[in-house]
Amino acid sequence: MNAELQDGGNALSGEALTFTLEENEEIHVLHPQQIIAYQGPSSGRADRFMDVKGMYRKRKLIRADMTGPCRFTAALPPGYRVKTVMLDGNDDLLYDFKHLFYYSKGINMQTRVLSVKNMIVTRDVVKVRFSGSGSIGILTEGVVCEAALDPVQPLYVDAGSVIAYPENAVLELTVYGNHLASQHMSYHWKMTGSGPVLFQAGRQNRRFERENHEDGLFKRLLREILPFGGVFIK
């Protein structure tokens, strides 16, 4: 399978991703309405109802099973990208299912129930761990960054920007810095352990544009002056 990004050069108009599948290759697309062009046998696409777990996680009813040989293009919303992650069967990262755009044949999913504290913050009940060999496509806002965890030295990452983290990671919801810094930042995950953490940069860009172009002066002042104003005043 090959996935090629078609960059239109304008972030506001969005991008497109063209997939080329060889004979008997198969991927499952969880946003079938984004497929805008297809070349291949008509039987190469079969839409199916997702199981109950998939419907709950993705809040969607249908997925598209695409089988090669074929070539098709999927449109991406403005500001979004798809990050392809290759899996070899030894991966232990936990993902938010809502970020999943596609996965290839041979990939299996297991759910991991979050703690009550994490449920409240993330507004999600479970994370997903993938097993098997193949690839998955993660829908992200902007560039995907990666940082390595350390068992002792904590890594602080904006809670809403985290895409995936190791199952062995120890997480604590917190803020950091001096008194002024901690009052004017979003909640962060304080993370220790081993393995990589994936996080997206586009969420902060969207907040920056909103604060500078849409908010009135009074709201911006309240956000800066009040403790935790950046968290509670949207």
pLDDT digits (tens, 9 = 90+) for 66-122: 999 999 999 988 888 898 999 988 888 999 888 899 999 999 888 888 777 666 666
Q: Where are the beta strands (DSSP E) in 89-226?
A: 93-95, 100-104, 108-113, 126-131, 133-141, 144-149, 155-158, 162-166, 170-174, 188-192, 195-200
Q: How many domains does the chain have?
A: 1
Whether the bond between 227 and the residue before it is cis, its omega within 30 degrees of 0, is no
For residue 19, tell me if it sits in a domain.
Answer: no
Domain-located, residue 80: no
| CA separation, residue 165 to residues 119, 129, 224, 227 (Å) | 16, 10, 31, 29
Would the pLDDT of 174 be above 70?
yes
Whole-angstrom Cα distance, residue 134 to residue 155?
29
In a domain, 210, yes or no: yes
In a domain, 76, yes or no: no
Q: Compute how many other C-beta atoms are within 10 angstroms of the C-beta atom of residue 153.
A: 7
Range of the domain at 161: 142-226
- Per the model's pLDDT, the better-predicted residue between 39 and 48 turns out to be 39
More confident residue, 184 or 173: 173
Predicted confidence (pLDDT) at residue 199 exceeds the cutoff of 60: yes
- Is 146 within a domain? yes
Q: What is the band of 145 on the pLDDT scale with cuts at 50, 70, 90? A: very high
When pLDDT is cut at 50, 70 and 90, the band that residue 220 belongs to is low
pLDDT at 210 over 70: no
Report if residue 85 sits inside a domain: no
Please, which pLDDT band fits residue 224 given cuts at 50, 70 and 90? low
**The predicted structure's pLDDT at residue 98:** 82
Q: Is residue 94 part of a domain?
A: no
Please check whether residue 107 lies inside any domain of the structure.
no
Neighbours of 157 (CB within 10 A): 20
Question: Is 122 or 50 the better-scoring residue by pLDDT?
Answer: 50
Q: Who has greater pLDDT, 7 or 34? A: 34
Cα first-last separation, the chain: 42
pLDDT for the residue 93: 92
Place of tokens 């002042």: 221
